[in-house]
């Protein structure tokens, strides 16, 4: 090469360096640490790596420079240097990628902190407007929160994405395992006066015990049966359930007893069973319990008089703050305990009615003290032995019914357990006719002595006391009528209750029932029969082959208490401050609040990754 060619080469390839008038190759020196000389027989020159190339001391300067240029040319064209250049370029690209990855990781950590903050809002029922202030607070505490996704609109989108991904993961797991599915629905009106329907499901996830899962809060275009059916099927389809899968695995539909739901001609249940013939329809037992109590109240007129008086007490203290303060002062004067008096025997469940009767029983001394000054008519009522007896009778009866109601609301209760509890409660109520309950016994004793808790009792001839025998028998009759377990499927399921087996069952005991259940719920008959025989041989065992049938039985809900819990949460979220929320946003918040883990166990990384991927596809 000429001197000019060498200068051009050096300007285009800035790898040629010098140390103390000696030349070397910067590229070869930089890649020496990776051991390139061991690859494919290629060996890097030690002289070029260590800057030991120098001009020979003999000959003229022109000859020496010519020799040096020749060395540079040969090294530049050598296989070793060419390979070193490639490795250097790869290192440069890797360095850029590492820098980008480092920047991305830093950005992702900031994004995860923002996602966790939005998730906290959903778990604590806080408004979206709190998002900005929480971000600011964390930044003041030194937490890096990035510079984006800080607005309440961003919080809305984050919660929507997390809720969607959470629902998708749950439904995918249910579909993949072919778990049997129960669907519970109920309708109500939101605080924004929109007709909504809550949809919950019960299914087994990864072969574990079935559990309740909130699916969606659906806004209804109309509250007719056809509109509800269409909204429900659209909800299930959007969640990921295909009609073919539903035909195979949807086993039960549960609702309250409204005519639009269970109407025989064109109700929601009738329309669904025409499309899914094997669907098992169940009327919520808590609603049926309320109907049974209501029927008994209508049959016994004297109970209505008692109900009306308790409603007067509720109105007296719920409307007037002055009366409430005076009652508190009266309780302090006589040293009486005071409980809140609510409604009784109305649209609320029976446990609420019991709390009201208990409050009146507990606060009786304070009521008498308060009525002495200005409510003579009310005083005559509460001081009468007739009222004390009625109060004691209703206390004992409603206490037993409230225990039953609370058991029926349990998430883990099965139909077989519910039947057992119902029959037991009926026996207890029947026993009250022969042997009075605790509070009614106290009332009868007070009637004989003419005094109750230092309160002088005065007979009131105008009052018509409740006939205990008539009321209790009416209640028993209506409970047996309203909460009947005569359905053939329920009777078949009772074969799984060992307490109903004969003392020495045959090896084929329950075979026909198991076959019918497997046919009804699309289960493997041979597997279930084998499991049943294992159970007959070893009643204390838990046969693996019987587990699908047992899980199917546990999947059947007893009541729609879960829907009522959903509506309570909806009202907490959609408060006066957040009543303008869209139904879809309320649904997303409910999805996270009910199904999501606590904030301390929430892993935002998988949601931030899927969010980034979603943005890339868009």
Taking only the tens place, the pLDDT of each residue in 369-401 is 878 877 888 888 888 888 889 889 999 999 999
Q: Mean per-residue pLDDT for 34-57?
A: 63
Q: Which of 45-59, 76-90, 205-219, 282-296 has the lowest mean pLDDT?
A: 45-59
**Do the beta carbons of residue 493 and residue 517 sit within 8 Å?**
yes
Q: Residue 579 in 3-state DSSP?
A: coil
Q: Over the stretch 79-99, which tens digit does the pLDDT of each residue have?
A: 777 777 777 777 666 654 554
State the alpha helices, DSSP H only, in 50-205: 61-77, 79-123, 130-140, 152-176
Rounded CA-CA distance 355/341 in Å is: 8
pLDDT at 618: 46
Rounded CA-CA distance 53/39 in Å is: 24
The pLDDT mean for the chain works out to 83
pLDDT at 409: 92
Q: How many CB atoms lie within 10 A of CB 351?
A: 18
Instruction: Return the half-sphere exposure (C-beta side, CA atoms, 13 A cut-off) of residue 258.
Output: 15
Q: Over the stretch 269-298, which tens digit does the pLDDT of each residue have?
A: 999 999 999 999 999 999 999 889 888 888
Element (H, E) at 334: helix 321-334
Token readout for 242 is: 């295909």
SS (H, E, C) 24-83: EEHHHHHCHHHCHHHCCCCCCCHHHHCCCECCCCCCCHHHHHHHHHHHHHHHHHCHHHHH
Rounded CA-CA distance 189/171 in Å is: 27
Rounded CA-CA distance 397/437 in Å is: 8
For residue 54, pLDDT beyond 80 = no
Higher pLDDT, 43 or 134: 134
For residue 243, pLDDT beyond 90 = yes
Q: Residue 16 in 3-state DSSP?
A: strand
Task: Give Cα 412 distance to the centre of its chain.
Answer: 15
pLDDT at 17: 60
For residue 346, pLDDT beyond 60 = no
Residue 413 pLDDT level (bands cut at 50, 70, 90): very high
Residue 533 pLDDT level (bands cut at 50, 70, 90): very high
**Do the beta carbons of residue 253 and residue 280 sit within 8 Å?**
yes
Rounded CA-CA distance 251/182 in Å is: 6
Rounded CA-CA distance 405/349 in Å is: 8
Rounded CA-CA distance 154/128 in Å is: 9
**Do the beta carbons of residue 181 and residue 173 sit within 8 Å?**
no
**Do the beta carbons of residue 15 and residue 25 sit within 8 Å?**
yes
Residue identified by tokens 């046969």 is 543
Residues 6+ apart with CB under 8 A from 305: 463, 464
Q: Interior CA angle at 473 toward 362 and 300, to 5°? A: 70
Q: Over the stretch 485-531, which tens digit does the pLDDT of each residue have?
A: 878 888 899 998 888 888 888 999 989 999 999 999 999 999 999 99
pLDDT at 135: 92
Domain ranges of the chain: 3-77, 89-282+565-618, 288-482, 488-555
Q: Residue 140 in 3-state DSSP?
A: helix
């Amino acid at each position: 090469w000429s001197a000019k060619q060498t200068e051009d080469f050096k300007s285009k390839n800035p790898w040629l360096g010098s140390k103390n008038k000696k030349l070397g190759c910067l590229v070869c020196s930089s890649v020496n640490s990776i051991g390139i000389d061991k690859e494919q027989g290629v060996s890097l020159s030690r002289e070029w790596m260590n800057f030991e190339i120098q001009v020979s001391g003999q000959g003229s300067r022109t000859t020496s420079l010519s020799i040096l240029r020749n060395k540079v040319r040969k090294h530049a064209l050598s296989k070793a240097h060419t390979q070193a250049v490639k490795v250097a370029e790869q290192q440069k690209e890797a360095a850029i990628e590492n820098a980008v990855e480092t920047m991305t990781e830093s950005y992702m950590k900031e994004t995860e902190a923002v996602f966790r903050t939005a998730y906290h809002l959903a778990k604590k029922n806080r408004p979206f407007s709190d998002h900005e202030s929480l971000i600011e607070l964390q930044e003041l505490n030194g937490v890096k929160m990035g510079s984006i996704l800080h607005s309440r609109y961003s919080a809305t989108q984050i919660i929507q994405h997390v809720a969607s991904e959470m629902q998708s993961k749950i439904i995918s797991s249910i579909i993949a395992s072919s778990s049997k599915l129960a669907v519970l629905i109920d309708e109500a009106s939101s605080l924004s006066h929109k007709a909504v329907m809550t949809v919950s499901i019960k299914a087994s996830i990864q072969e574990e015990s079935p559990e309740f899962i909130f699916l969606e809060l659906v806004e209804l275009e109309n509250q007719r049966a056809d509109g509800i059916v269409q909204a429900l099927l659209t909800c299930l389809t959007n969640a990921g359930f295909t009609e073919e899968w539903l035909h195979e695995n949807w086993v039960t539909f549960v609702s309250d007893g409204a005519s639009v739901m269970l109407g025989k001609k064109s109700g929601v249940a009738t329309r669904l069973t025409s499309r899914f013939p094997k669907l098992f329809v169940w009327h919520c037992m808590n609603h049926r319990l309320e109907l049974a109590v209501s029927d008994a109240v209508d049959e016994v007129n004297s109970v209505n008089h008692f109900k009306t008086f308790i409603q007067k007490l509720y109105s007296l203290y719920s409307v007037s703050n002055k009366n409430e303060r005076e009652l508190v002062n009266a309780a302090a004067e006589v040293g009486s305990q005071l409980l809140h008096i609510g409604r009784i025997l109305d649209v609320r469940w029976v446990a609420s009615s019991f709390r009201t009767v208990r409050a009146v029983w507990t606060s009786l001394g304070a009521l008498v003290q308060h009525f002495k000054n200005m409510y003579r008519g009310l005083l005559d009522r509460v001081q009468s032995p007739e009222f004390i007896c009625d109060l004691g009778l209703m206390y004992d009866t409603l206490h037993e019914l409230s225990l039953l109601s609370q058991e029926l609301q349990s998430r883990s209760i099965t139909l077989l357990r519910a039947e057992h509890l119902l029959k037991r409660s009926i026996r207890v109520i029947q026993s009250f006719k022969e042997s009075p309950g605790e509070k009614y016994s106290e009332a009868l004793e007070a009637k004989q002595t003419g005094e109750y808790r230092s309160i002088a009792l005065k007979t009131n001839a105008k009052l018509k006391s409740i006939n205990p025998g008539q009321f209790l028998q009416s209640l028993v009759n209506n409970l047996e009528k309203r909460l009947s377990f005569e359905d053939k499927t329920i009777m078949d399921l009772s074969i799984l209750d060992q307490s109903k087996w004969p003392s020495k069952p045959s090896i084929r005991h329950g075979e026909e029932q198991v076959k019918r259940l497997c046919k009804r719920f699309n289960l493997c008959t041979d597997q279930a029969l084998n499991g049943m025989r294992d159970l007959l041989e070893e009643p204390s065992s838990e046969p693996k082959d019987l587990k699908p049938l047992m899980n199917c039985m546990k999947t059947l809900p007893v009541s729609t208490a879960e829907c009522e819990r959903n509506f309570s949460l909806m009202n907490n979220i959609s408060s006066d401050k957040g009543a303008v929320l869209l139904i879809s946003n309320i649904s997303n918040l409910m999805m996270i609040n009910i199904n999501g883990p606590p904030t301390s166990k929430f892993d935002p990384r998988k949601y931030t990754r899927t969010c980034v991927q979603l943005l890339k596809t868009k």
